[in-house]
Structure 1
Amino acid sequence: MSAGRREHYAEFYGVRPPLRGDGPLVLTHGNCQAESLRVLLQGSAEPVSTIRVPPVHELEPADLPHLQRIVERIDVLVSQPVREGYRGLPLGTAELLARAARRPRLVTVPVVRWAALHPFQVIVRSPEAGEPPVVPYHDLRTLSVAAGGGELPDVPSPEAVRAVRDLSVRELTRRQDRHGALDVVDLLVHQGANAAHTVNHPGNGVLLGLAERVLAAVGLPQLLPDPGRTLLDAVHAPVLPAVLDALDLPSRAARTSWTVAGRVVRDDDVRRAQLEWYRRWPGVAAAGLRRHAEAHAAWAQ
């Protein structure tokens, strides 16, 4: 374990004790969205205590005793739906609950995916190839070219934009219903052009609204200050004017380029780099189109 990781998660690794208030001790479990919720919950008016833990996809076998120590003390588990035996480790939501010394209150939150603002953008998992270069996202237009499926329109029709939005609503609603998770769809719709930076990085307004619903679910006051910074800020994807028009959103929110770690990156540069990467990893593009066939069909209409 690196010294930086140990210091970053100092309370998790027992380097220093967690700060405890009079309120409940809350563990947030999941990906980077879960960590953003932790930041917001820690700042609530009620003296909620939280512990920063590594995201679930970074937890290692050596981390399990530390996770067990934390789970034995928590009052509330705020968890995205994590399947049992995730990555061959007992990191599932139900597995954490089963190991808790005192039965904590469970609040399930969804993994937020919202493609309304970025109908071209998809996530494709390829363990062998890893992530594509420049940004960890795939573009349906680039995938189609790389897979030999021909070029899609650079600008989608209004019908295509709304079809992808409706697909996002259906998929998110289905996942929420399946897992009994808090509802976030209305927050995304209400936030409009500010709903998300990328398909899996919701904006502050969405995260604040979801954190308030977590507090309400455990009977705590829903008083949350603005965090004073943009959460999930590493990558901002382009937002096409035609997309905003189709969704009746203000055109001033349009962006033609990416912002990656504060640096502006042209969309054409991303596309060229990723096309070359697909040539080195044949099969990834075709698999991506199969995985996102419904969104691909909607874009092509």
Structure 2
Amino acid sequence: MIADPHTARRDHYADFFGDLPRTGYGVVVGNCQAESVRLVLDTDDLPLLRVPPVYELDAADTARLHEVLAGASALIAQPVKDDYHGLPLGTRQLAASLPPAGRAVTFPIVRFTGLYPFQAALHVPGTEEVPPIVAYHDVRTLAEAGGLPIRDTMGADAVRAEAADSIAELERREQQLDVGVSDLFAAPGFDLVRTVNHPGNAVILEIGGRILRALGRPGEATDPGRPLLDAVHAPREDWVIDAWGLDTAPQPMWRVNGDGVDPGEIREAHLEWYRRNPGFVRGALERLRPTFERWRR
């Protein structure tokens, strides 16, 4: 008998919804990157409960999270604004539920566009759907949908400028956090990020080690022996490889759950999706206006 989705979800997060350890546990809160950080830090000395990603939490989940934090020794969190989704899920709000001896450490949401300059992970208010096949937008395809002429490739200087802007944004976001990662992207390579917002093991492990040091704990993060955030790999385009002088072969296909997917198939599927969602296209074009100005033909 197949369990209903509610039961399956509670089973998947059994440590969070079930009986808690008496002491000594922690939680990692954030987006999909947070679960990967939890995996490299979870030990017998600091067991870390698996928590649903913050964007999935409802009012009951949020109340449970505050209850869990009341007995936790550590909160490891990506930054979340106060009253996120109308719920007390802000990082400061969560940290306030820790016991007096509890420690809170913040680390950034990793997003780096220097290896995928035309890729965007976008949310437009009022549009909850995501495009088919991959939840990433190719700015070239968006421009086509909006009737805007932009380049198909960039020169090396433009690629490096895009990377510099991306690092500067990471640095800006890190200023109020306990752990930074922007320095890791000074010499870009595809081992660092699989898409603009899915870092590879090398980055996750370094984040984990820096969190341990911020907590004042010994040891290092532990590689789980498998690739993390591995479901989607974006194409590696030859002009990006040339811009960085990388010793790697181009990979023209997307890889989705282990299968190769032709970018042309994704382009056609996304163009159709844009035709059905003109409100998204209008919002995305407005949000990306500086990008289009910079890259237009």
TM-score computed with the length of structure 2 as normaliser: 0.92
In the other structure, the counterpart of 2:295 is: 299
Say if 2:231 is the partner of 1:237. no
**TM-aligned CA deviation for residue 103 of structure 1:** 4.9
Say if 2:275 is the partner of 1:271. no
Say if 2:171 is the partner of 1:173. yes
Identity of aligned residues (%): 42
Q: SS of the counterpart of 1:116?
A: coil
Deviations 1:53-95 (A, max 9, x none): 1000001112133212210011111111101110011111111
Q: Which sections of structure 1, spanning at least 5 residues, go unmatched?
A: none
In the other structure, the counterpart of 1:72 is: 70
Matches within 5 A, 1:133-172: 133-150=132-149, 152-172=150-170
Q: SS of the counterpart of 1:193?
A: coil
Say if 2:24 is the partner of 1:5. no
Question: RMSD between aligned alpha carbons?
Answer: 1.9
Whole-angstrom CA distance in 2 between matches of 1:186 and 1:114: 12
Whole-angstrom CA distance in 2 between matches of 1:287 and 1:201: 24
Whole-angstrom CA distance in 2 between matches of 1:293 and 1:103: 47
In the other structure, the counterpart of 2:204 is: 207
Preserved CA contact (<8 Å) 2:156 2:240: yes
Give the counterpart of 1:86 among 84, 87, 100: 84
Q: Which sections of structure 2, spanning at least 5 residues, go unmatched?
A: none
| CA shift in 2, pair 1:220/1:100, >3 Å | closer
Preserved CA contact (<8 Å) 1:158 1:246: yes
Whole-angstrom CA distance in 1 between matches of 2:188 and 2:204: 11
Whole-angstrom CA distance in 1 between matches of 2:185 and 2:206: 10
Say if 2:118 is the partner of 1:120. yes
Say if 2:192 is the partner of 1:195. yes
Preserved CA contact (<8 Å) 1:109 1:181: yes
Matched residues, number? 292
| One-letter amino acid of the counterpart of residue 265, structure 1 | V
**TM-aligned CA deviation for residue 276 of structure 1:** 0.8
Say if 2:32 is the partner of 1:32. yes
| One-letter amino acid of the counterpart of residue 282, structure 2 | A
Matches within 5 A, 1:101-116: 101-116=99-114
Whole-angstrom CA distance in 2 between matches of 1:181 and 1:287: 33
| CA shift in 2, pair 1:186/1:223, >3 Å | same
Whole-angstrom CA distance in 1 between matches of 2:253 and 2:68: 42
In the other structure, the counterpart of 2:257 is: 261
4+ residue stretches of structure 1 with deviation over 6 A?
none
Preserved CA contact (<8 Å) 1:133 1:274: yes
Whole-angstrom CA distance in 1 between matches of 2:229 and 2:36: 7
Deviations 1:20-42 (A, max 9, x none): 7xxx4221111011111111001
Deviations 1:170-197 (A, max 9, x none): 11111111x2241101223346221101
| One-letter amino acid of the counterpart of residue 137, structure 2 | H
Q: SS of the counterpart of 2:235?
A: coil
| CA shift in 2, pair 1:225/1:99, >3 Å | closer
Whole-angstrom CA distance in 2 between matches of 1:77 and 1:256: 40
| CA shift in 2, pair 1:19/1:192, >3 Å | farther
Say if 2:222 is the partner of 1:218. no
Preserved CA contact (<8 Å) 1:18 1:51: no
| One-letter amino acid of the counterpart of residue 172, structure 1 | L
| CA shift in 2, pair 1:89/1:69, >3 Å | same
| One-letter amino acid of the counterpart of residue 7, structure 1 | D
Preserved CA contact (<8 Å) 1:122 1:137: yes
**TM-aligned CA deviation for residue 160 of structure 1:** 2.0
Preserved CA contact (<8 Å) 1:107 1:181: yes
